[in-house]
A and B are shown apart, each in its own frame.
Chain A
């Protein structure tokens, strides 16, 4: 059964550095998402992406964040100038269509020191 994959599984970075989190959505899915989960807290929506454009974004997704589909398979989340409070698990998800079931990747645990 196809799954969403994410790399790396863990990333440690220094405050102020830029990080890029990578995701490979399920191949026939058209909608892609990023979520964040701070340790012990709820899953928070960041952004949804369709047809090479952001379709929805939350109040968390400010100018520090950007997303990109650099090629036909990858979907990336870039965090510029990381802050301590960016430490969290970042989940990518994808769905086959608008409003359809979203399938989550295994996550990237980001630690900002």
Chain B
């Protein structure tokens, strides 16, 4: 089955700096790659997603890139703010079987 690796496990940045989180996946047939933000005790919330026919997608301060050949995808957050502090999960999906990475705890220091 699909295996998703996510790095780093923790990331601390100064407010205003950029943050990058990277994921790799094992099944080349996976075709949908969402990113979820989870605040403590809350549900995962979708922040951005990308499909395998697209290499890059941007939504304001958030962007995701996908390299199908290398089977990796990344989340980029620019101009980070303290409210960006949360755990971020990447996921890879084939059909409706979605597998998550282990999560990255992002801390944005004011």
Contacts and interface: CB of A to CB of B under 8 A. Distances in A.
Interface of A: 31, 33, 41-45, 48, 50, 55-56, 58-59, 91, 95, 98-99, 101-107
B100 A99 contact: no
Nearest to A106: B43
Interface of B: 1, 31-32, 34, 36, 42-46, 49, 89, 91, 93, 95-103
15 contacts: A31-B96, A33-B98, A42-B101, A43-B91, A43-B100, A45-B100, A56-B95, A91-B43, A98-B96, A99-B31, A99-B32, A99-B93, A101-B46, A105-B43, A106-B42
Contacts of B32: 99
A44 B44 CA distance: 12
B96 A99 contact: yes
B95 A99 contact: yes
A55 B96 contact: yes
Given A42-B101, A104-B43, A104-B45, A48 B34 contact: no
A58 B97 contact: yes
Contact of A42 (B49, B89, B96): B89
A26 to B, nearest CB: 13
B45 to A, nearest CB: 7
B3 to A, nearest CB: 12
A27 B36 CA distance: 22
Contacts of A48: 95-97
A103 B98 CA distance: 12
